[in-house]
């Protein structure tokens, strides 16, 4: 890192002497002045983001122009970002950007894209999981800053895959995952969901690889290694996304399509044929899709999440490719974020439930529109069941929608509370006000807040001014504060039900109690959701003989459906069904989706022999896992990186 010696000294002195905000003499004054963002007046202090060191209230980044080259040998991105600035006051000169493990090579300031001169900068001391603030002095009159930098091979927001970790086995692969605060590990930026930027990008790759971004992508021509992107709508940094690999494209509909490795493309396209209809269903409910195209990228199996709603290009795990479209509610979910999240964005990570609770609600409405009420109900019950488990085991403060994340990694907030409790809250409003009134309100919420970031308080205000004002009697029955600020569920909270599940529950009970043979169960006719319910409903004291019998009748150990296999393998560990252990190992080595593998390691770690086996498997599997997955698995296995 090239940094003037005096600046290094200054940085050291400042880092030990005072907290970041106090270093900037202009900060306190300007922070008091609210700054307009979109149609809403945003009071930056009210929406204070504990997970960003940036100072958008003073100098805000409005546009970024990325120019990066991917070096697969070094596993780094290298190049520059040019950021356009808007100052709350012409006299302000300190720009603060978030970074993590970036090597900053030079910083220049310019005016109108010209007159570039070296700018003073310092990289402040790093804070655990937040990274280091890059403090830049922007001369008066300058409106742009250009930063030359390179990423670390260990960047938390990037995963670099060897050819062996891909489907094709010939070319390497790399992908980003910026949410929650990992964008700063590959782009110096104001890494707060309250700051929106437009961007343009040029990405260079080795020939034979294609770069894709959550942006307007070039038409999928030959893989020449030089690609340009634009994102004309302002987006928060957690939606910045890039992937590079041997990727081909296939259209699904007139504005939908899928990118995947060549050998995965046909299977992906077949599974995802309903995507175009999903977009139409969502538009019918919530108004026009604001982003132009909706494409998906099917990633290699180490992708640590099920899906990520990157704008115009959802990133998805290949574990949804069940062969029978039974897991495509994940597409409905990521598509739903095009309204709840990407259009109306949580202003801070405390407000994460505004993204995920709303999205889970919208997801189920899309599923209902395409596949009927029964399917949506089954998925709601599965979610409710999982939520009940967390409500039993979580500390009270972690059961709250408007969660306190002070001093914590925002990724820790990804539990069923924002998703399922948040969704139940919206369902309770739907039940209270009736579907027509509630649907009109929700559509209005998306319209009123389009391209802005909102706090939980903004939501309370909006409800009070609209839906509640128009229906005062019904509003009087809503326990708004309790839903948002209290642990657990309020009395009278909705309790999703499914008729199909009632039948499955009955069979799980009688059969596990010793009645009838496994091959007499109607398992061949069950949907994926019914299977998941059946496996969830089996009692803790199920005998090993019954496990064997079930496996013999339905071949559960060799099931390709990743969700069913997950539940089955969990039972196998719990009941020491050793015949499934080789499959367990293959599963854990092949898949890196955190939600599917973490519970398996946790279950193994409950017994001394299990833990030994887990560590043995982890040794083989860990090199293939994403840094985010590694970070949550290391503590379970006592692994010292
Ligand atoms: N935006 C989330 C993924 C996320 C959340 C990544 C927080 C990092 C931090 C995405 O929309 C999501 O919720 N994915 C779910 C799938 C969904 C069907 C519940 C997942 O990955 O499991
Ligand atoms: Zn989501």
CATH of the domain at 570: 1.25.40.320
- Asked whether residue 442 falls in the same domain as residue 307, the answer is yes
Between the CA of 220 and the centroid of ligand 1 the distance, in Å, is: 27
Model-level pTM? 0.94
- Asked whether residue 484 falls in the same domain as residue 560, the answer is no
Last residue of a domain, one of 460, 476, 497: 497
Q: What is the pLDDT at residue 630?
A: 96
d(CA 294, CA 283): 12
- Asked whether residue 298 falls in the same domain as residue 401, the answer is yes
- CA of 595, closest atom in ligand 1: 22
Residue 141, by phi and psi: left (phi above 0), alpha (psi -120 to 50) or beta? left
- Asked whether residue 294 falls in the same domain as residue 418, the answer is yes
- Asked whether residue 437 falls in the same domain as residue 312, the answer is yes
d(CA 364, CA 360): 6
Q: What is the mean pLDDT of residues 604-611?
A: 98
Q: What is the pLDDT at residue 31?
A: 38
Answer whether residue 631 shows pLDDT above 60: yes
- Ion ligand 2, residue ranges at CB < 5 A: 356, 359
- CA of 330, closest atom in ligand 1: 18
In a domain, 283, yes or no: yes
> Which residue, 249, 260, 365, is CA-closest to 321?
260
Query: Ligand 1: which residue has its CA nearest to atom 21?
Result: 306
pLDDT digit string, tens, across residues 581-593: 999 999 999 999 9
Pocket test for ligand 1, best of 178, 193, 299, 307 (most atoms within 8 A of CB): 307
- CA of 305, closest atom in ligand 1: 21
Ligand closest to CA 354: 2
Percent of the chain exceeding pLDDT 70 equals 93
**Cα angle value 114/117/119 (rounded, 5°):** 125
pLDDT digit string, tens, across residues 434-448: 999 999 999 999 999
CATH of the domain at 295: 1.10.390.10
d(CA 105, CA 109): 14
- Asked whether residue 295 falls in the same domain as residue 402, the answer is yes
- Asked whether residue 453 falls in the same domain as residue 586, the answer is no
Q: What is the pLDDT at residue 42?
A: 58
Confidence of residue 543 (pLDDT cuts 50, 70, 90): very high
In a domain, 281, yes or no: yes
- Asked whether residue 308 falls in the same domain as residue 450, the answer is yes
Which two structure tokens, joined as six digits, stand for 259?
A: 């990118």
- CA of 179, closest atom in ligand 1: 8
Question: Is beta strand 173-176 parallel, antiparallel or unpaired with respect to 210-213?
Answer: unpaired
Ligand closest to CA 238: 1
Q: Is the separation of the CB atoms in 238 and 197 below 8 Å?
A: no
- Asked whether residue 488 falls in the same domain as residue 346, the answer is yes
In a domain, 593, yes or no: yes
Answer whether residue 13 shows pLDDT above 60: no
In a domain, 311, yes or no: yes
Higher pLDDT, 167 or 32: 167
pLDDT digit string, tens, across residues 267-321: 999 999 999 999 999 999 999 999 999 999 999 999 999 999 999 999 999 999 9
Average pLDDT, the chain: 93
Q: What is the pLDDT at residue 47?
A: 76
Answer whether residue 34 shows pLDDT above 70: no
Host domain of residue 581: 555-637
What positions carry a catalytic annotation? 334, 419
Q: What is the mean pLDDT of residues 68-75?
A: 98
pLDDT digit string, tens, across residues 335-386: 999 999 999 999 999 999 999 999 999 999 999 999 999 999 999 999 999 9
Query: Ligand 1: which residue has its CA nearest to atom 18?
Result: 330
The binding-site residues of ligand 1, defined as CB within 6 angstroms of any ligand atom, are 179-180, 305-309, 330, 333-334, 337, 356, 411, 414, 595
Q: What does DSSP assign to residue 555?
A: -
pLDDT digit string, tens, across residues 399-419: 999 999 999 999 999 999 999
Query: Reduced to 3 states, what is the DSSP secondary structure of residue 63?
Result: strand
Query: Ligand 1: which residue has its CA nearest to atom 14?
Result: 307
> Which residue, 505, 496, 533, is CA-closest to 376?
496
In a domain, 509, yes or no: no
- Asked whether residue 329 falls in the same domain as residue 462, the answer is yes
**Cα angle value 342/343/346 (rounded, 5°):** 65
Last residue of a domain, one of 465, 497, 529: 497
Between the CA of 110 and the centroid of ligand 2 the distance, in Å, is: 38
pLDDT digit string, tens, across residues 468-480: 999 999 999 999 9
Between the CA of 24 and the centroid of ligand 2 the distance, in Å, is: 36
Collect all residues with Cβ–Cβ distance below 8 Å to 384 and sequence separation of at least 6: 420, 424, 495, 496
Alpha helices in 555-593 (DSSP H): 562-574, 581-590
- Asked whether residue 560 falls in the same domain as residue 493, the answer is no
Answer whether residue 394 shows pLDDT above 60: yes
Between the CA of 554 and the centroid of ligand 2 the distance, in Å, is: 32
- CA of 337, closest atom in ligand 1: 11
Q: Is the separation of the CB atoms in 610 and 572 below 8 Å?
A: no
Pocket test for ligand 1, best of 191, 240, 308 (most atoms within 8 A of CB): 308
Between the CA of 308 and the centroid of ligand 1 the distance, in Å, is: 6
Q: What is the pLDDT at residue 7?
A: 40
Last residue of a domain, one of 497, 520, 537: 497
Q: What is the pLDDT at residue 45?
A: 64
SS (H, E, C) 209-242: CEEEECCECCCCCCCCCEEEEEEEEEEEHHHCCE
**Distance from the Cα of residue 277 to its chain's centroid:** 23
Question: Is beta strand 158-161 parallel, antiparallel or unpaired with respect to 173-176?
Answer: antiparallel
Give how far Cα 158 sits from Cα of 12, 259, 302, 594, Å.
29, 19, 12, 16
d(CA 398, CA 343): 27
In a domain, 513, yes or no: no
- Asked whether residue 461 falls in the same domain as residue 596, the answer is no
Q: What is the pLDDT at residue 43?
A: 63
In a domain, 589, yes or no: yes
Neighbouring C-beta atoms of residue 44, cutoff 10 Å: 24
Between the CA of 308 and the centroid of ligand 2 the distance, in Å, is: 7
Please enumerate, as own/partner, the contacts of 104-108 that have beta carbons within 8 Å and a separation of 24 or more.
104/1, 104/3, 104/134, 104/147, 104/148, 104/149, 104/188, 105/1, 105/2, 105/148, 105/149, 105/150, 106/2, 106/147, 106/148, 107/134, 107/136, 107/145, 107/146, 107/147, 107/148, 108/145, 108/146
d(CA 461, CA 606): 46
pLDDT digit string, tens, across residues 373-391: 999 999 999 999 999 999 9
Q: How many domains does the structure of the chain reveal?
A: 2
């Amino acid at each position: 890192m090239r940094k003037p010696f005096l600046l290094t000294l200054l940085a050291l002195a400042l880092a030990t002497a005072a907290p970041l905000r106090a270093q900037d003499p202009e900060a306190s004054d300007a922070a008091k002045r609210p700054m307009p963002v979109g149609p809403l007046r945003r009071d930056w202090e009210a929406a204070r983001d504990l997970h960003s060191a940036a100072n958008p209230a003073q100098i805000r980044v409005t546009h970024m122009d990325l120019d990066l080259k991917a070096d697969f040998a070094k596993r780094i991105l290298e190049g520059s970002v040019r950021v356009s600035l808007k100052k709350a006051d012409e006299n302000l000169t300190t720009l603060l950007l978030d970074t993590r493990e970036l090597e900053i090579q030079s910083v220049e300031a310019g005016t109108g894209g010209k007159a570039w001169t070296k700018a003073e900068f310092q990289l402040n001391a790093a804070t655990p999981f937040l990274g280091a603030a890059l403090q830049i002095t922007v001369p008066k009159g300058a409106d742009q800053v250009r930063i030359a930098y390179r990423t670390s091979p260990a960047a938390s927001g990037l995963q670099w895959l060897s050819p062996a970790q891909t489907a094709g086995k010939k070319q390497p692969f790399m992908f980003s995952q910026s949410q929650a605060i990992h964008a700063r590990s590959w782009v110096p930026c104001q890494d707060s969901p309250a700051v929106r930027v437009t961007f343009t990008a040029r990405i260079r790759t080795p020939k034979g690889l294609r770069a894709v971004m959550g942006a307007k992508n070039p038409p999928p021509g030959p893989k020449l290694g030089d690609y340009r992107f634009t994102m004309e709508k302002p987006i928060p940094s957690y939606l910045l996304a890039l992937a590079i690999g041997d990727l081909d494209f296939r259209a699904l509909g007139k504005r939908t399509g899928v990118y995947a490795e060549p050998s995965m493309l046909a299977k992906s396209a077949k599974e995802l044929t309903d995507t175009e209809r999903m977009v139409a269903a969502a538009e019918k409910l919530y108004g026009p899709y604001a982003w132009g195209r909706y494409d998906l990228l099917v990633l290699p199996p180490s992708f640590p999440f099920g899906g990520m709603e990157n704008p115009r290009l959802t990133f998805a795990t290949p574990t949804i490719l069940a062969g029978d479209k039974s897991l495509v509610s994940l597409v409905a979910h990521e598509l739903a974020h095009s309204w709840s999240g990407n259009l109306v964005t949580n202003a801070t990570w405390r407000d994460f439930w505004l993204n995920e609770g709303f999205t889970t609600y919208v997801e189920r409405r899309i599923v209902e529109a395409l596949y009927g009420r029964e399917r949506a109900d089954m998925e709601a019950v599965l979610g409710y069941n999982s939520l009940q488990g967390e409500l039993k085991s979580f500390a009270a403060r972690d059961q709250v929608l408007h969660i306190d994340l002070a001093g914590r990694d925002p990724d820790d907030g990804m539990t069923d509370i924002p998703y399922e409790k948040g969704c139940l809250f919206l369902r309770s409003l739907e039940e209270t006000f009736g579907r027509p009134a509630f649907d009109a309100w929700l559509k209005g919420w998306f319209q009123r807040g389009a391209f802005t970031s909102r706090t939980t308080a903004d939501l309370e205000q909006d409800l009070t001014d609209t839906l509640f004002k128009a229906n005062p009697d019904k509003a009087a029955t809503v326990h708004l504060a309790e839903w948002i600020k209290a642990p657990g569920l309020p009395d009278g909270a909705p309790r999703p039900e499914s008729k199909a599940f009632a039948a499955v529950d009955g069979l799980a009970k009688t059969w596990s109690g010793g009645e009838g043979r496994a091959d007499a169960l109607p398992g061949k006719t069950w949907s994926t959701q019914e299977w998941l319910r059946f496996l969830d409903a089996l009692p803790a004291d199920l005998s090993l003989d019954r496990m064997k019998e079930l496996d013999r009748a339905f071949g559960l150990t060799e099931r390709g459906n990743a969700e069913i296999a997950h539940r089955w393998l969990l039972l196998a560990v719990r009941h020491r069904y050793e015949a499934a252990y080789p499959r367990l190992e293959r599963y854990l080595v092949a898949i890196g989706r955190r939600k599917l593998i973490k519970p398996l390691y946790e279950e193994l770690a409950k017994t001394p022999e299990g833990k030994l086996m887990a560590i043995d498997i982890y040794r083989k599997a860990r090199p293939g896992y994403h840094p985010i997955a590694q970070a949550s698995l290391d503590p379970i296995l006592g692994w010292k990186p």
